Structure 1
């Protein structure tokens, strides 16, 4: 039940506490040994904890990223172009925070000493910081404070997310990757759906709109953090100097080409996704002609359809990838279908047509999300630096979430005058095609 007995041929490591930091919730679990892939399947209740952790981070952070900040922008001005500009200005600075704190957060958690383990302190501290940052956005009178609040929210949430994602590699055996990846993807989509439905419920109270999902997320993430059986470092084996800081953001793509290709595929589909979802509310009001109240309800309904489709596809995709042992072809095809869905939105002239496209995109993203995490865990360069490597990889998840509003906002405001979505959605299709092609060049995973 401790981390000191990895097996025959491994000498005890004096930098590891023999007792570790046991889980505080549930029956006691074996504490993983650092640098060695676990071989025992985790019980159902621990997998449920993983689902809660993923859902908690996403319900707090993705609601503002996809709907709430855009809705607040609509309360500040009636001009569509200015709404797109304010949304982009408020969200774009989070790109810098996402890049820095996701990668740094993973590497710091690899090196954290203390009796509470390596990942748990950063998961809890990060989600607390995110909650306080979202409160700042809720009370902000204008775009500048919204941007500051979003920068801080991205910084702290990505610290938590980096530690959370690294903990999955710490805890799970390879034969659980596909199924758990499917559940994790379902959790992310359900979280976005829940946060989206809170907009029509709390649209007249900005503090409630931002803080209810944030506090809900705080509770769920804390539950997972206390389920973790954590290895404990008694001393830092790898001092964190300037060279280490610089290399935090880098894995040599020539030496690790499959890792780089998987990174590129993730970057492109997230870019394509958020180029639309950030401006989904404006799409409903300016492309389909709905008034603001009806638009928020239609968006919530569309996200629900998307989520249900993604849940079904996630379960099937994760199971299928484990069953047939193939991941990259499933990932590539799902990225391509998702991109085609974004283009189809240009030809959706009714709410019903919009719902149909949301279902197609949900199915595609459900398969992608279920299989891609399993693929990524198989191409990690170094099991002793899982936090660092997943931190680098999570840049591909976090960076486009903040770049997409800036790039998409520019296309929408300058080429579409706030109402024409052609340039925006064609760019999303192109990004998806590139992502699919990059994924197919991965060689070490079938």
Structure 2
């Protein structure tokens, strides 16, 4: 006789094998692609466009006070995001419901994020800014109820041989949201009209509200009621929330390799205005022109190569070599403005790094899924891997400031160091043993 626990283990599985899934599960690709577009577009539009505009309006100008407040907002938001993504991922892994492990979180997260974003739009004066901080941290927490489970769906429902293709679809949605959200946000800045800015918050809240139901409709996730129910005693707590410690060599190589690449791209983005003005002696207007052209080049190349890199990695049956090649492209693009101190090189940076980032965002996600130590804790472990993003974004300006001081106050001379960091990231990825992943 089999025990109830053994029966549960037979009836329910945390992942899908290649043999069980001969065809590409396009429904999952559509769910994660549209889901990524509908959460990231509004998030980027608010964080990079509407928030700075609202704060500048409330504080009567984009001066030192507004910049300090935005820095505080970014720091507290990053901390809230870092902690919440691991906790939410762990709870998602342990969720037993007729709608599956991920769907309830995605649905509730979209409702809560939308509600808090509406609250941000209702802030009108400086006395309410402490509430603004709390609400923004709420956005960072609640949006992870969408992000962490949505990424884990690929590990749950996609066989390893199809993960490159599905990750490519996700990366296309990610790229459109990443670059398109600020473009839409900019449409609500007509003469910095406070009422129009608030309308932008409400529009973005509606789009985020759609992300959960649309993703759930395509996912049609199976029930997780047959999943083994574990007691959350001390041992269970450690399993649920601690950083993985067994079979983790590939896991941490992927984490730190990704962090090096994020540090490179984030540092460049942080100092791009200063590279053009202080380093290449352009005025603000011309610097803005080149930054716009660079952004367009990056967006087009990222979307184009995000759609093709994943299927190519599936056919090549390798992730690490494609990711390492993307790191090399990012390194090459980063060094160009240092080698040829011409503003035109910034556009070439956009072309080359756009190809690299499109390839990287597509295939790195598939690689992350394949270095997970345990498929039953996929969401939590993916949350830990996300520390490469949040950690890299926090460390980038700090490292940039240190390098700037070390090289004598020249922004262009930072670029060779960033290039080396990207190459180190690629080398770390190449050290991954794919025989233990695929």
So what's the TM-score if we normalise by structure 2?
Answer: 0.80
Indicate whether 1:311 and 2:291 are aligned: no
Q: Note the C-alpha offset of 1:86.
A: 3.8
Aligned residue for 2:33, secondary structure, equals helix
Partner residue of 1:50? 32
Partner of 1:255: 247
The answer to whether residue 437 in structure 2 is matched with residue 442 in structure 1 is: no
Q: 1:197 aligns with which of 183, 191, 196?
A: 183
How many angstroms does 1:280 deviate by?
5.7
- Answering whether residue 377 of structure 2 is matched by residue 377 of structure 1, we say no
Aligned-partner Cα distance in 1 for 2:391–2:421: 14
For residue 177 of structure 1, what is the aligned residue in structure 2? 163
Q: Check conservation: 2:25, 2:158, Cα contact below 8 A.
A: no
Once the two structures are TM-superposed, the CA of residue 262 in structure 1 deviates from its matched residue by 0.5
Please say which of residues 111-120 and 177-186 is displaced more in the overlay.
111-120
Deviates more, 1:222-231 or 1:166-175: 222-231
In the TM superposition, residue 365 of structure 1 has moved relative to its aligned partner by 0.6
Structure-2 residue corresponding to 1:62: 44
- Listed as ranges, the matches of 1:8-19 within 5 Å are none
Deviation at 1:65, TM superposition (A): 4.2
Q: Where does residue 219 of structure 2 map in the other structure?
A: 228
Aligned positions, number: 418
TM-score, structure 1 normalization: 0.79
Deviation at 1:258, TM superposition (A): 0.5
Could you say what secondary structure the match of 2:283 adopts? coil
Is 1:99 the equivalent of 2:82?
yes
Please say which of residues 69-78 and 432-441 is displaced more in the overlay.
69-78
Q: Following superposition of structure 1 onto structure 2, how do residues 36-435 of structure 1 map, counting pairs within 5 Å?
A: 36-37=16-17, 39-70=21-52, 76=59, 85-140=68-123, 141=125, 145-203=131-189, 204=192, 205-234=196-225, 237-241=229-233, 244-245=236-237, 248-252=241-245, 255-277=247-269, 288-291=282-285, 295=288, 302-345=294-337, 352-401=344-393, 403-404=394-395, 407=398, 421-422=411-412, 428-435=418-425
CA contact (8 A) 2:169 2:306 kept: yes
Which has the higher mean CA deviation after the structures are superposed, 171-180 or 390-399?
Answer: 390-399
Asked if structure 1 preserves the Cα contact closer than 8 Å seen for 2:39 and 2:207, the reply is: no
Contact 1:274 1:404 in 2 (8 A): no
Q: In 2, Cα distance between the equivalents of 1:206 and 1:404? A: 31
Distance 1:324 1:353, change over 3 A: same
- 10 and 271 in structure 1: CA distance in 2 versus 1, 3 angstrom threshold: farther
Post-superposition shift, 1:320? 1.9
Q: How far apart, CA to CA, are the structure 1 residues paired with 2:334 and 2:54?
A: 24
Instruction: Name the CA shift for 1:73/1:339 in 2 (closer, same or farther; >3 Å).
Output: farther
Deviation at 1:36, TM superposition (A): 4.4
* Distance in 2 (alpha carbons) for counterparts of 1:409 and 1:154: 25
Query: Could you tell which deviates more after superposition, 37-46 or 192-201?
Result: 37-46
Aligned partners of 1:343, 1:134: CA distance in 2, in Å?
39
CA contact (8 A) 1:98 1:395 kept: no
Contact 1:182 1:318 in 2 (8 A): yes
- 74-83 vs 370-379, which moves further: 74-83
Select between 208-217 and 190-199 the one with higher mean Cα deviation.
208-217
**Structure 2 unpaired stretches of 5+:** none
**Structure 1 residue matching 2:187: 3-state secondary structure:** helix
Assess if the C-alpha contact under 8 Å between 1:15 and 1:233 holds in 2: no
User: Quick one: distance in 2 between partners of 1:243 and 1:135?
Assistant: 40
| Cα deviation digits, residues 218-256 of structure 1 (max 9, x gap) | 31342012222323333761233455445524012x731
Task: Give the C-alpha shift of residue 74 in structure 1.
Answer: 5.5
- Counterpart secondary structure, 2:301: helix
Cα distance, 1:79 vs structure 2? 6.9
Q: 1:346 to 1:87 in 2, by over 3 A?
A: farther
Distance 1:428 1:73 in 2: 32
- Measured in 2, the distance between the counterparts of 1:104 and 1:431 equals 30
Q: Distance in 2 between matches of 1:129 and 1:428?
A: 38
Does the 8 Å CA contact 2:16/2:158 hold for their aligned counterparts? no
Structure 1 residue runs without a partner (length 5+): 1-8, 19-31
Shift of 1:126: 1.8
